[in-house]
Amino acid sequence: MVTLQNMADSSTPRASSTKHPAPSRPAEDHPVYVIGGGPGGLSVAAALRARGVRAVVLEKSDRVGASWRAHYDRLHLHTTRRLSALPGLKMPRSFGRWVSRDDVLRYLDKYAEYHELEVVTGVEVSRLERTADGAGWLLHATGGRELTGSAVVVATGYNHTPHLPDWPGRDTYTGDLLHASAYRNPAPYAGQDVLVVGVGNTGAEIAVDLIDGGAARVRLAVRTPPHIVRRSTAGWPAQRSGILCRRLPVPVVDRLGRAIAKVSVPDLAAQGLPRPETGLYSRVHEGAIPVQDVGLIDAVRKGRVEPVAAVESFEADKVVLADGTRVGPDTVIAATGYRRALEPLLGHLDVLDGSGRPHAHGPRTAPGVPDLYFTGFTNPISGMLRELARDAGRIAAAVAKAKARSRAAS
């Protein structure tokens, strides 16, 4: 890997420094810069390298896979090992079917090494602009550096910046309040009364982790009841169903989802977690991925995890719920999602929608904004890592094709 001190000039990382400015070069001679050293960025870099295109990964932390290193200890992939590998390197069988967070990190480290990827750590890109001649991209980076790339792939991740709702009274709440991104394991909460806010996959898994780890009481604040699916049924992983259903019409998948849920998931309405009214795939198109069961169903059915109404506000040491109930937990853990936080980087380029997500994705580019690609900003039902791997090949093909056209025109 290339480290921060190897950033030698204004256009590309190099192995040795120089006091002389780099000569002007055609845009196609500049590298493709990949912003983000997670699985999306690494897979694109590997796919580009396989096509003979130089790619430089810029990672703001000191190691690849930074967001994965910050996840809670219990985390395992909800997708199978075979369907989670990145291009050009299988995951070892020793990782098991459901790969742990630590094994994902081992895999990402090995992946960068195996493909001999050019990774520059400790460099954060703050802004993208077209070069003066319009032939490439100018990246404003850490320490006032200006890097010139022929193309840019933004792979900073779906879960980039923790989002904590601006609940009334939040700032004066006297209890402990933290975002789920700060949660690691249940040990600090043993014997405590804990309220987990948000019933996505993260909130559901943390709630189970807490009660299994010795918390005295765990409540789960639910605004919209989720679809819950078994991670695997009779050996058949839910991910494969997601892959098969992805191209089907939404109403068809909604009907299938309702039928499967009635057979495989018990009705938890009496425990405060009713079946959702909106269809499963309709919710996916709204941005809500089903919760894969890793113990939530059993914990709710047995009363170990108690679903309650959504959080409305805070009052001194109390949390006010939407049904008017006031509860006084020792700790509130907000599993309330993340923001992509792309606006400072490229909000001026008119490539984001109203929610801050890129208009274009994968091999497509936004109209009038060539050579700018995005990966990892969707949350597909077929599995994030699988789609990152597929996007990598498509983006690499698009970049190589664009370079070939540029060379032919010059």
Specify the pLDDT at position 190.
Answer: 98
Q: What share of the chain is helix, strand, coil (3-state, %, to 5)?
A: 35, 25, 45
Q: What are the start-end ranges of the H helices in 150-279?
A: 201-212, 238-245, 250-264
Residue-averaged pLDDT of the chain: 91
Specify the pLDDT at position 18.
Answer: 29
Specify the pLDDT at position 285.
Answer: 82
Q: What number of residues does the chain have?
A: 410
Write out pLDDT tens, residues 282-312.
998 888 889 999 999 999 999 999 999 999 9
Specify the pLDDT at position 158.
Answer: 81
Closest residue by Cα to residue 344 from 128, 94, 114: 128
- Confidence class for position 68, pLDDT limits 50, 70, 90: very high
Write out pLDDT tens, residues 198-250.
999 999 999 999 999 999 999 999 999 999 999 988 888 989 988 988 889 99
**H-helix or E-strand spanning residue 281:** helix 280-285
Q: What are the start-end ranges of the H helices in 19-144?
A: 39-50, 66-69, 101-114
Specify the pLDDT at position 342.
Answer: 95
For 354-367, b where at least 16 C-beta lie within 10 A, e where not — what string?
A: eeebbeebbbebbe
Whole-model pTM: value is: 0.89
Instruction: Report the DSSP beta bridge partners of residue 313.
Output: 320
Write out pLDDT tens, residues 99-154.
999 999 999 999 999 999 999 999 999 999 999 998 899 999 998 999 999 999 99
Specify the pLDDT at position 286.
Answer: 83
Q: What mean pLDDT do residues 392-405 have?
A: 94
Write out pLDDT tens, residues 6-44.
443 434 443 333 233 333 445 557 999 999 999 999 999
Cα–Cα distance list, 251 to 241, 260, 283, 385 (Å): 16, 14, 11, 26
Q: What mean pLDDT do residues 43-54 have?
A: 97
Separation CA 165–CA 223 (nearest Å): 13
Residues 6+ apart with CB under 8 A from 200: 226, 288, 289, 291, 335, 337
Closest residue by Cα to residue 82 from 269, 281, 226, 243: 243
Closest residue by Cα to residue 381 from 207, 205, 256: 256
Specify the pLDDT at position 387.
Answer: 94
One-letter-per-residue 3-state SS of 319-340: EEECCCCEECCCEEEECCCEEC
Cα–Cα distance list, 159 to 59, 162, 185, 341, 398 (Å): 15, 7, 19, 9, 26
Separation CA 105–CA 91 (nearest Å): 11
- Confidence class for position 1, pLDDT limits 50, 70, 90: low
Closest residue by Cα to residue 155 from 41, 39, 43: 41
Write out pLDDT tens, residues 354-375.
889 999 999 999 999 999 999 9
Q: Which domains does the chain have, with CATH numbers?
A: 4-160+340-409 (3.50.50.60), 164-231+261-336 (3.50.50.60)
Three-state DSSP state, 11: coil
Write the DSSP string, 64-79: S-HHHHTS-TT-B-SS
